[in-house]
C-alpha cells in the first residue's frame, strides 16, 4: 500500500491516487460549501454527501458539522475504491477502512481495536471515551458525537437505539462498555 496525504486526510491505497483524491475532495467540498449552511433547506435531490449528512445527523440527533468528516470520507472512498481494492483513510477522529486482512487502530498507549476484513468497508469514529463502527462513516461520526456526554450505561442504551451501528465502545478510566463487534487488544 502507498501512503499519501490530500489536504488533511491521510490515505493508504494500492497506488498513488493523489490527483483523483484531490478532484473528488474538491467536488464534495464544493457541494458542502453550497448546501451545508442551510442544510435543512437543501432539496431532496441534493448531492449525496448532503443527503448523507442530513440522514446521519437526524438518525443520531447530532449537528451536521459533527457528521461532515465521516461523510466526506464515505464519499471519497466511494470515488477511490474504483481504483484500489484496499483503502485506509484518516481525517482527525474519523477513519475509513476497506482491507483484505485485519487492521488495528490504536486508541491509547494500552489499548487498540482490531477490524476484520469481512467487517469492511466501514467508518470508524474514535473520540475521547467513545468508539463507534458503522458501515456508514457519516453515521459513525454522528453517533460518536451524540454519545460523548453520557455515562457508559446510558451511552450504550442510547447507542442501541441508533440503527446501523455495528460496534460501540464507551470507556471512562478503567471502566468500559461494549456493544456489537468490537475486538480489543493491547496496543
174 near 100, Cβ under 8 Å?
Answer: no
Phi, psi of 5 (to 5 degrees): -120, 135
Domains of the chain: 2-186 (3.10.520.10)
Q: How many CB atoms lie within 10 A of CB 92?
A: 14
pLDDT, tens only, 112-149: 999 999 999 999 999 999 999 999 999 999 999 999 98
pLDDT, tens only, 144-175: 999 998 999 999 999 999 999 999 999 988 89
pLDDT, tens only, 75-116: 999 999 999 999 999 999 999 999 999 999 998 888 899 999
Which pLDDT does position 29 carry in this prediction?
95
Amino acid at each position: 500500500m502507498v501512503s499519501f496525504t490530500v489536504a488533511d486526510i491521510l490515505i493508504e491505497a494500492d497506488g498513488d491516487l493523489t490527483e483523483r483524491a484531490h478532484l473528488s475532495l474538491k467536488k464534495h467540498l464544493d457541494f458542502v460549501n453550497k448546501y451545508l449552511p442551510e442544510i435543512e433547506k437543501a432539496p431532496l435531490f441534493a448531492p449525496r454527501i448532503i443527503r448523507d449528512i442530513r440522514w446521519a445527523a437526524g438518525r443520531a440527533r447530532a449537528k451536521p458539522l459533527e457528521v461532515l468528516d465521516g461523510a466526506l470520507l464515505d464519499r471519497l472512498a466511494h470515488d477511490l475504491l474504483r481504483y484500489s481494492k484496499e483503502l485506509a483513510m484518516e481525517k482527525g477522529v474519523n477513519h475509513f477502512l476497506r482491507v483484505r486482512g485485519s487492521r488495528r487502530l490504536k486508541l491509547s498507549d494500552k489499548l487498540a481495536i482490531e477490524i476484520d476484513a469481512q467487517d469492511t468497508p466501514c467508518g470508524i469514529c474514535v473520540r475521547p471515551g467513545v468508539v463507534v463502527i458503522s458501515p456508514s462513516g457519516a453515521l459513525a461520526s454522528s453517533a460518536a458525537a451524540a454519545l460523548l456526554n453520557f455515562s457508559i450505561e446510558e451511552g450504550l442504551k442510547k447507542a442501541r437505539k441508533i440503527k446501523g451501528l455495528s460496534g460501540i465502545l464507551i470507556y471512562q478510566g478503567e471502566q468500559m462498555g461494549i456493544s456489537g463487534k468490537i475486538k480489543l487488544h493491547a496496543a
